[in-house]
Chains A and B, each alone.
Chain A
Amino acid sequence: MIPLPFAGNNMIVRVVSINGGRGAQKKLYELGIYPGATLRVIKSWGPGPVIVELTNMNPNYRSSRVVIGYGLAMKILVEIM
């Protein structure tokens, strides 16, 4: 289990837990990032915001992209699939 920003570009990860405040958590949930969701890391460099793509159904599906600030992304624990 690693924080989201530690996953490399183009990796597919599954969200294990989100430890942010309640407001941030809800916001992430409604954008499709919730425990159990799978994401593809599009861009993640150093301590900067991370871009992920939601790939819940099939990694071949292109879907919406979400930017997550570094601080918040560090609170999202994921496992690499």
Chain B
Amino acid sequence: MDECNFCFSINNDVLSNLRLNERKVKICVAGNPNVGKSVIFNELTGGRAWVGNWPGVTVEKKVGKLNIDSRDIEVVDLPGVYSLTAYSIDELIARNFIIKEKPDLVIDIINASNLERNLYLTISLLELGAKVIVVLNMMDLAENLGYKIDHKKLSELLGVPVIPTIAIKGVGINELKHTIYSVVKGKSEIKGLNIYYGDEVEKAIKEIVNLIHSSSELEIDYPLRWFALKLLENDDEIVKEAKSLSIGNRILELVSDLRSKLRSKLGKDVEDYIIEKRYELISKIVSEVLTVAKPVKVTYTDIIDSILLHRGLGMPIALSALYLMFRFAFEVSTPLIDIIDWFFGDFLYNYIYNSSLPNLLKSILADAIVTGIGSILVFIPVIAFFFVALAILEDIGYMARVAYLVDKIMHKFGLTGRSIIPLIIGFGCNIPGVIATRTIIDENDRKSTALVAPLISCSARLPVYLVIAGALFTAYQGTVVLSLYVMSIVTTLLVALFMRKILFKGISTGFIMELPEYTCPLLSSILIKTWERTKRFLFKAGTVIFLGIVALWILSVTGPTGYLGTEVFEDPSLLENSWIGIIGHGLSYIFSPMRWGWRASAALLFGFVAKEIVVGSLALLFGVGEEGLETVISSQFTPLTAYAYMAFVLIYVPCIATLAAIRGELGLKYAVLTVIYEVILAYLVALLITGFGYLIGLR
């Protein structure tokens, strides 16, 4: 094995291999969260990116193209991480990408207003043997704080190019592109940096490396020095990797021997010592490159935080902000929803029925396909505007504050402030909510949050409440709907507590989160974020819900006697003979204490596919249009049975698309568990409401 594994200078043979014309060049963008990474990724790739999954995990991988000198360079967006330990999926992905895929360049973006913490990742990248260009972003923020950064000196000390930028204003992007070009072309060299960990640790590293060297048939992907260092640091993944080697036992024996020797010599665990050494080096670097011209005592962030994080005012302000977010989403989207509803529900539907197509084809097109697409698209405006509002709050930096404010309350229910963001996303749509649980570090917290996320009343459940509450609680419609939202929050928290106490026991890693500076949100970033979340609904819900609706159509037009004909949709009494009718009758026995009748029970089956379809299928099953629905509902339900029905709709089974998301995040076992616990819980709550109503004399 080549000695160059020990050092960072890239020799000329390697560089010549990087020539653009010889093979495809791949670079990646890395950095801490909140450093403007996605802005720079978009600047480099022109905002065009395609999305895939990282091998073996469901975390999304974004890839774009940078065009320099009429050649395409592949740009991969690595997850935002603070370091390269193996403690979270994101860190492991970033690390494995650099080790296994060997990108030609790593663009490391650091926040100039927070050099020390950000340089930790830079050092980790350099240690891993990556060829790094450092982007010193947010220079304006640093200037506001009175910082002067000598970027030339920084470049000298790190041994890599350093480009100062203000990405949101486009400042420095051209220089960055130039630098990428000249490095990739082999015109400028990157030296890199070697950390010296003191004689004892260096000797231990050497010993491990020598042992691995002695066994020549070994195939290790990693730089050997780094591999040895990680073994000393007791890195889980690397220890696992070492175990699988033929001389694995000998290596691990040596490592554990060295670790205990070092502990007594250093007076502390070697992993702590190594981290301290890194910070020592960083402090030295920072003190050489950073001068503070005029220290700023009070920043904008201080002033805003003194209000938004105020002991008494903080929570009321947060509640108002979140309430406004909902109002904004629902109010702004109403006209768009009406247009979509009209287009699919009236125009296209009637157009097909008035055409000269055969009846069966008409029904497939109108009742299954058009209705299916319409029922999905009608939710796009409200979900999209909800996510626009949320992205604005996030990009300003406010959602991190919300997490801080609710941490104490969430703690009482076994979770931490971290869980609040996925849950709030869930009010828009449960699918991106479930996916957002990835940001939760603690495994138990993450699983619990993902499993209770479907109890959050998503925007698809609202139309069910509106129609039923409108029919039976005219004067109190608003209060009834609000009570269901309160019920949603209360059940979410209580079930979370149950999960954390029974299913996922164990002490939480705890709540650790960075509070970013307040910044002005950037339109493009908000739009991209909104699109990424809405897209999850559109594609996942689009395919799964659409297929579900088609399946229900088939179950409606067929029965034990065979094909019933599309007349079932005009004459609901015929529906009784269809599979749906039979299942509905079966369900109505189960729901007999709640007295919902077979049609309302069958509608719940439709709701399994997607909650919003409950309304349409009630109309279908009663053989009325959505206009006549209120009259039918007020004759078929009492306020008590209707309230129990709405509670059941709130709690039972998220739509199949959400189940698919849970399966993707946690596995099939947990998706099945979600179905089981939610159906049981919904049944019990509905039964409880009915029973309580009887007790106080309601019928």
Residues of chain A touching chain B, judged by Cβ–Cβ distance below 8 Å, are 20-21, 23-24, 26-32, 34-37, 43, 45, 47-49, 51, 54, 56-58, 60-72
Determine whether the beta carbon of A23 is less than 8 Å from that of B408.
Answer: no
Contact flags B505-521 to A (C-beta < 8 A → 1, else 0): 00111111111000000
Chain A residue with minimal CB distance to B401?
A67
What's the minimum C-beta distance from B585 to chain A, rounded to whole angstroms? 52
Which A residues are in CB contact (< 8 Å) with B507? 21, 71
Determine whether the beta carbon of A64 is less than 8 Å from that of B408.
Answer: no
Which A residues are in CB contact (< 8 Å) with B509? 20-21, 23-24, 27, 72
Determine whether the beta carbon of A36 is less than 8 Å from that of B116.
Answer: no
Determine whether the beta carbon of A32 is less than 8 Å from that of B515.
Answer: no
Determine whether the beta carbon of B117 is less than 8 Å from that of A71.
Answer: no
Contact of A49 among B279, B404, B442, B508 (CB under 8 A): B404
Known contacts A62-B145, A63-B117, A67-B404: A36-B276 contact under CB 8 Å = yes
Which B residues are in CB contact (< 8 Å) with A61? 145, 147, 290, 292, 295
Determine whether the beta carbon of A64 is less than 8 Å from that of B514.
Answer: yes
Which A residues are in CB contact (< 8 Å) with B416? 69
Count of B residues near A, CB < 8 Å? 46
Determine whether the beta carbon of B404 is less than 8 Å from that of A51.
Answer: yes
Determine whether the beta carbon of A68 is less than 8 Å from that of B510.
Answer: yes
Contact flags B306-349 to A (C-beta < 8 A → 1, else 0): 00010100000000000000000000000000000000000000
Given contacts A67-B407, A71-B511, 6 further A-B contacts (CB under 8 A): A34-B279, A45-B311, A48-B408, A49-B407, A49-B417, A71-B411
Determine whether the beta carbon of B87 is less than 8 Å from that of A26.
Answer: yes
A-B contact pairs, 27 of them (CB 8 A): A20-B509, A23-B87, A23-B441, A26-B85, A27-B87, A29-B275, A31-B514, A32-B120, A48-B408, A49-B407, A49-B408, A51-B309, A57-B287, A60-B292, A62-B295, A63-B116, A63-B117, A64-B515, A67-B513, A67-B515, A69-B417, A69-B511, A70-B407, A70-B408, A71-B508, A72-B510, A72-B511
Residues of chain B touching chain A, judged by Cβ–Cβ distance below 8 Å, are 82-83, 85, 87, 111, 113-114, 116-117, 120, 145, 147, 268, 272, 275-276, 279, 283, 286-287, 290, 292, 295-296, 299, 309, 311, 400, 403-404, 407-408, 411, 416-417, 441-442, 507-515
Known contacts A30-B85, A35-B272, A35-B276: A65-B514 contact under CB 8 Å = yes
Determine whether the beta carbon of A20 is less than 8 Å from that of B510.
Answer: yes
Chain B residue with minimal CB distance to A62?
B145
Please report whether the interface of chain B is mostly helix, strand, loop or mixed according to DSSP. mixed
What's the minimum C-beta distance from B535 to chain A, rounded to whole angstroms? 30
Which B residues are in CB contact (< 8 Å) with A68? 510-512
Q: Across the A-B interface, how many residue pairs have beta carbons closer than 8 Å? A: 127
Determine whether the beta carbon of B407 is less than 8 Å from that of A69.
Answer: yes
Determine whether the beta carbon of A30 is less than 8 Å from that of B83.
Answer: yes
Please report whether the interface of chain A is mostly helix, strand, loop or mixed according to DSSP. loop
Known contacts A29-B275, A34-B272, A51-B404: A67-B114 contact under CB 8 Å = no
Determine whether the beta carbon of B283 is less than 8 Å from that of A57.
Answer: yes
A62 to B515, CA, bound (A): 13
A34 to B276, CA, bound (A): 7
Determine whether the beta carbon of A57 is less than 8 Å from that of B290.
Answer: yes
Task: Report, nearest first, the 4 A-B pairs whose CB atoms are least far apart.
Answer: A69-B511, A72-B510, A60-B295, A30-B83
Which A residues are in CB contact (< 8 Å) with B111? 64
A49 to B279, CA, bound (A): 25
Determine whether the beta carbon of B513 is less than 8 Å from that of A66.
Answer: yes
What's the minimum C-beta distance from B154 to chain A, rounded to whole angstroms? 15
Which A residues are in CB contact (< 8 Å) with B275? 29, 34
A48 to B416, CA, bound (A): 11
Determine whether the beta carbon of A69 is less than 8 Å from that of B512.
Answer: yes
Which A residues are in CB contact (< 8 Å) with B512? 24, 27-28, 31, 66-69, 72
Determine whether the beta carbon of A31 is less than 8 Å from that of B82.
Answer: yes
A62 to B147, CA, bound (A): 9
Which of A54, A60, A64 has most chain B Cβ within 10 Å?
Answer: A64
Determine whether the beta carbon of A62 is less than 8 Å from that of B299.
Answer: yes
Determine whether the beta carbon of B510 is less than 8 Å from that of A71.
Answer: yes
A35 to B268, CA, bound (A): 11
Which B residues are in CB contact (< 8 Å) with A31? 82, 117, 512, 514
Chain A residue with minimal CB distance to B115?
A63
What's the minimum C-beta distance from A29 to chain B, rounded to whole angstroms? 5
Known contacts A43-B309, A49-B417: A62-B296 contact under CB 8 Å = yes
What's the minimum C-beta distance from A71 to chain B, rounded to whole angstroms? 5
A30 to B85, CA, bound (A): 9
What's the minimum C-beta distance from B2 to chain A, rounded to whole angstroms? 31
Which A residues are in CB contact (< 8 Å) with B116? 32, 54, 56-57, 63
Which B residues are in CB contact (< 8 Å) with A21? 507, 509
What's the minimum C-beta distance from A61 to chain B, rounded to whole angstroms? 6
A32 to B329, CA, bound (A): 39
